Amino acid sequence: MHDYRSMFDLTGREALVVGAGSGIGRAGAEALAAFGARVFCADVDAEAARGTAREISEAGGRAEALELDMRSTPSVEAAAERVGTPDVLVCTPSINVRKPLLKITDEEFDRVVDLNLKGTFRVIRQFAPGMAERGSGSIIAFSSIRAQTVEPGQGVYAATKAGTVQMLRALAAELGERGVRVNAIAPGIVETPLTAQIKDSPEWYDAYARKTALARWAKPHELAGMIVYLASDASSYVTGALMFVDGGWTAADGRFVPPLPAI
């Protein structure tokens, strides 16, 4: 019988988590370490990255911190010199400019695209070749429910998240025969620094909660299970996928629902 108990075991593997200083990236780094991986905690905020690595080490895990700015090719290259070729690459950072599309300036457009889409490209371009040469690896990057469902004021952000999915699918097709799996995760509403503007508004916060089937926001640790799954052998036949962790946001249309008999 297959050894099912070991499917999630990451002992002996190395993972690079970009965006590990806070939010989903931090939770993902902690979870990967808890399942046995040695984790490189990377973030543009070096002190935040050190905080995550320190917390993992204090819990008995193995972690190192490093500074990495996805907007800078030299920064990504410098990180690669230190890390080498990890077994798992997780890329979480994003930014958003909440404005009507026709009010977006060139600078704002470029800023969102440069981090969300091109930044992800810079990272996978740097680390994927080594994985392909070795013949194994799992690349996990973050998209969003906005890749498929839009909201006024998030046009450019949505475009980058849809673009990320297609870019990753292309890479999955290109590297599949070389043993590299490439997948995207689409979170719903998660309490992170990115959503602080909405979270701080009771009206927005409640409206977003009601849109989900679970009627609540997610905590960052609730995304960690999907990260571990895609990093591990439990997902050995999963590539080119977009995995929704959205509390049912995309399952329901959000219109008025007539009352149903109590169950």
Active-site amino acid positions: 157
Tell me the C-alpha to C-alpha distance, in Å, between residue 210 and each of 80, 206, 215, 216.
42, 6, 5, 7
Shortest CA distance to 87 belongs to which of 162, 180, 169? 180
* Distance of alpha carbon 177 from alpha carbon 44, whole angstroms: 33
Q: Which two tokens stand for residue 71?
A: 């907007």
User: Listing from the earlier edge strand, what are the strands of the sheet with 62-67?
Assistant: 62-67, 38-43, 14-18, 88-91, 137-142, 180-187, 242-245
**CA 116 to centroid of chain Cα atoms:** 11
DSSP β-bridge partners for residue 171: none
Q: Cβ contacts of residue 259 below 8 Å, gap of 6+? A: none
